[in-house]
Amino acid sequence: MEALRAVAADERVRAAEAAVREACSELRWNEALRRRWREARAEAAIRGAIASGGVEGAVVSADVLREQVAAGSLTEAATGDPGLDAVAGLWRAGARLVGWMPDLVGRGRPVVPPARSLLAAVHRDVVGPLAAGGRVGLEEVGAPRTGQVRAREGGPGDAPQGEELAVRLAGLVELIEAQRAPVLVRAAVVHAEMLAARPFTAGNAAVGRLLVRHLLVRDGLEPTGTAVTDLYPGRVPAAYAEAAGAYASGTMDGVVAWVVWQAEAVLAGVQEAQRLCRAVQAGTWRAG
């Protein structure tokens, strides 16, 4: 925890966090969120799935996903369209996170499962379509790697194995559950650890991006749950990879660079949320 606080104390991180807090505060009082925050959260889950799918190479239009969601057609992990299946899995994970969010107006506060159960549930949603299509084994779904099992996907640096992997996974779980951790830094480092440690055989980056949204809402930095924090990685994939590589270098400057990048991603997500809120008020999603 001291390492996180040291990163949070860096002037660059403090400036980035201040910008994020200001933007999130402005979003919180958007007029559209007074009565229609549930609709806004639901639309953010759709836009987040579309954006995250694009990062993974699954290109589906938001209109197609909205139509499928509205029709209740996404009950099976495999539809015969691999791109739609991948995005649908991301949407299911995002919708699950929405179900764990506290009410924006009201007193409802659902019980969030412990970190290991949370990771497994989100991973099942994300990777379920891959298993249904025979691209990963069923035993890999929701189950972290152990021993010498290798990750199927690349990332910054070599993915740890054996004892190092077990230590990194335990540290990730502890970080998610730690009390009074710096909010932005925690979310950023959890995301980065998913990329670098790759605790699962597949789906790590997508789960990491979803965890950012979850942690920002849970810890109160972005309580509306409408910031589309997945958008920025797809817009500037080279910067995403460069920032992840900086984190994996293990230097203080590298970690700071990653946290600043994560702040930029949150700011872009808040801007998208403002557009989304205008669309909610206008009564047409295309207006956003």
pLDDT tens digits for range 164-222: 999 999 999 999 999 889 999 999 999 999 999 999 999 999 999 999 999 999 999 99
The per-residue pLDDT for 229 is: 98
Kindly report, residue by residue over 37-96, the tens digit of the pLDDT.
Answer: 999 999 999 999 999 999 999 999 999 999 989 888 787 777 778 899 999 999 999 999
Question: Among 125-134, 148-157, 167-176, which range has the highest average pLDDT?
Answer: 167-176
Confidence band, pLDDT 50/70/90 cuts, at residue 286: low
Cα 178 to Cα 38: distance, rounded to the nearest angstrom = 28
Helix (H, G, I), strand (E, B) or coil at 86: helix
Residue range 113-123: average pLDDT?
A: 97
Element (H, E) at 140: none
**Domains annotated on the chain, with CATH:** 2-287 (1.10.3290.10)
pLDDT value at position 210? 98
pLDDT reported for residue 53: 96
How far is the CA of 176 from the CAs of 74, 80, 129, 239, in angstroms?
30, 36, 26, 25
